[in-house]
Amino acid sequence: MHFTRYPAMLVAVFLASTAVAIPAATLPVLDQQGNALKDAVILVEGVPQRPPLSSSMDQIDLQFQPRVLVVPAGTDVGFPNGDNVRHHVYSFSPTKAFELRLFHGSEAPPVTFEQAGPVVLGCNIHDAMIGYILVTDRPWYGLSNPQGILDLEHLPPGESVVSWWHPTLGDAPPVTLGSIDLHASDSLTLAVDGMAEAVVEKPLSPLQKRFNKAAGKYAN
Report the predicted TM-score, pTM, of the whole model to 2 decimal places: 0.77
The Cβ of residue 109 has, within 10 Å, a number of other Cβ atoms equal to 11
Determine the Cα–Cα distance for residues 200 and 203; give it in Å rounded to an integer.
10
pLDDT of 5 strictly over 50? no
Residue 67 resides in a domain: yes
DSSP 4: -
pLDDT at 79: 96
At 194, the amino acid letter reads G
Question: Which structural domain range is residue 190 located in?
Answer: 25-204
In the chain, the percentage of residues whose pLDDT exceeds 90 is: 69
Residue 18 resides in a domain: no
Mean pLDDT over each residue of the chain, to the nearest integer = 82
The Cβ of residue 14 has, within 10 Å, a number of other Cβ atoms equal to 11
Residue 57 resides in a domain: yes
Q: For the domain that residue 121 is a member of, what is the CATH number?
A: 2.60.40.420
Beta-bridge partner residues of 42:
142, 164
Residue 212 resides in a domain: no
Residue 147 resides in a domain: yes
| Tally of domains within the chain | 1
At 16, the amino acid letter reads A
